[in-house]
A and B are shown apart, each in its own frame.
Chain A
């Protein structure tokens, strides 16, 4: 097993275990920390792909910025009641069976496929820095979706302000 493969599985395991912890743990602070682990795993995967810019953004923005906000909110909101609620419904065993079956199906399909990637697709070496390449692609090939995302974010902001706004009778 080469180093890359080893780290791929290590980071993937980190991301998956973190995700599971986010859903399964009862204490909200523990959940937030598990989510942080999961995001860290994903950041590692970005690094393995040679996407240094995404790696840095993932660490600074998600783990540095957003998670701290998460923890602040959890501190300010009284979560005693929430931790006493029943966490899962009665359908959990059925959901578990369905999820495992889906995983098995996906796994068998992936393993049966002889050639995963066509030979023509290969990672092209970057000219210039990683950040520069990302910026170039964003503003040329993906200009339209990039600009469209700004409207999407506006809608999300308007929506959250609306929902959190004062209830006027």
Chain B
């Protein structure tokens, strides 16, 4: 007997809307003419899908708030609606909307404008929702694959571009391999509990006792899969190649939505499922975090390609977020949420400047291409400076708040060593971010004509710029949003 209650419907609806609008975009493709205007309508439909999903998520928030943030469990415990899922769904929705706004002109310029792109963005966002809210390992796995497969295709979207193909191939092969590890870990968890639910896992672990080899094996293999998804060392090798080869709009979406949802999943598995086995996974994650910070920040120094540099810096950021999870107190979790929120806007902004600066026929690729940007296009240069300052974590920008909370949590929990390591790498990151700044403001360059950016790009640049400044100067409302993720 199939049961589908009103609670199930209410919890599922935003994700369902995304999937339905994705199907609508695919189906209505035939109705609209294959020209710029016809595609514009389909982008409108895709964006309205995100709009409806956001509206429904807002309804969910109001409901939770009226019921003192009590989590709402649906589908026999497969999916949960709580502040945590809502917060991360919000980041995914925002990044999907921003990416769709900037993709229109970009794909037009690349001569690969197909409406499937928007459907895939919607499907990827839909998959991310099940990572944010999934409690059942089967649901989580299918959601993860839905997101990953959409991204494999999006990364290879520039079909005539060799590097895009190479990036997609590498991402697909390594992604499939890491998924194998994840599902192996999940299968051992299932063997231990006889249930695919994360909550059931939490009840079994205390009985198994600390340092049980089988549990340890399951934790290690699960972590391999999850660390791959968040792009943390030593499973980061795909990130630079994939970020560089993918269409820049997809790079921004991958760096934000995929990473955020995977972090949500990591947090959920570690804190809900394995919360009582903390002494088993904390050393592993600490090692991974330090390694991630080291590799991400040191490798970024020697990069000459801007997208590669941002890819390595994004690896470094994953290390900081892991530190928040390792600190393990309330401040640390607020730090993780606020860090991912600020990182989302700054990262999309930084990639967006690269898209806006696209020249006739060639994209901005190397640091030299940014030379004397301050003279040529002062507004873009200033915005880039703002986003880079935020990524480096300098006040008064958004990134400062995120880093502040991460370090505060480390100090509060007495992990001074990690705090010092983290602070040292902030200094290193200043060096490579300011290599870009130096190139923009202090070097002379060749004259090059930039294509006029579309209104969508202008709008998103303004939005991300304002958000980056606003979070830095007035962090209060954003901290309150992050507190929602803790169910407050």
Q: Which of A27-35, A49-57, A112-120 is the interface stretch?
A: A112-120
Q: Give how many A residues have a beta carbon under 8 Å from the other chain's beta carbons.
A: 32
Write the residues of chain A forming the contact surface with B, with a CB cutoff of 8 angstroms: 106, 108-110, 112-113, 116-118, 120-121, 139-145, 148-149, 151-152, 154-156, 158-159, 162-163, 165, 167, 169
Q: Across the interface, name the chain A residue whose C-beta is closest to B152.
A: A159
A120 to B134, CA, bound (A): 25
Known contacts A113-B214, A116-B214: does B2 contact A163 (CB below 8 Å)? Answer: no
Give the residues in chain A near B26, CB-CB below 8 Å. 154, 158
Within 8 A of A (CB), among B135-176: 136, 138-139, 141-143, 145-146, 149-150, 152-153, 156-157, 159-160
B36 vs chain A, min Cβ distance (A): 16
Q: Across the interface, name the chain B residue whose C-beta is closest to A141.
A: B76
Write the residues of chain B forming the contact surface with A, with a CB cutoff of 8 angstroms: 1-4, 12, 19, 22-23, 26, 75-76, 78-79, 111, 114, 116, 119-120, 123, 126-127, 130, 136, 138-139, 141-143, 145-146, 149-150, 152-153, 156-157, 159-160, 191-194, 204, 207-208, 212-214, 216-217
Q: Across the interface, name the chain B residue whose C-beta is closest to A139.
A: B2
Known contacts A118-B207, A140-B2, A158-B153: does B142 contact A149 (CB below 8 Å)? Answer: yes
Give the residues in chain B near A145, CB-CB below 8 Å. 78, 136, 138-139, 141-142
Q: Across the interface, name the chain A residue whose C-beta is closest to B215.
A: A113
Give the residues in chain A near B204, CB-CB below 8 Å. 118
Show 22 A/B contacts (Cβ-Cβ < 8 Å), sorted by A: A109-B213, A109-B217, A118-B193, A118-B194, A121-B194, A139-B2, A140-B1, A143-B2, A144-B75, A144-B78, A144-B79, A144-B139, A151-B19, A151-B126, A154-B26, A155-B120, A155-B123, A155-B149, A156-B149, A159-B149, A162-B157, A167-B160
Chain A binding surface, main DSSP class: helix
A142 to B196, CA, bound (A): 10
A106 vs chain B, min Cβ distance (A): 6
- Contact assessment for B191 and A117 in the assembled complex, using a CB-CB cutoff below 8 Å: yes
A121 to B195, CA, bound (A): 9
Give the residues in chain B near A152, CB-CB below 8 Å. 127, 142, 145-146, 149
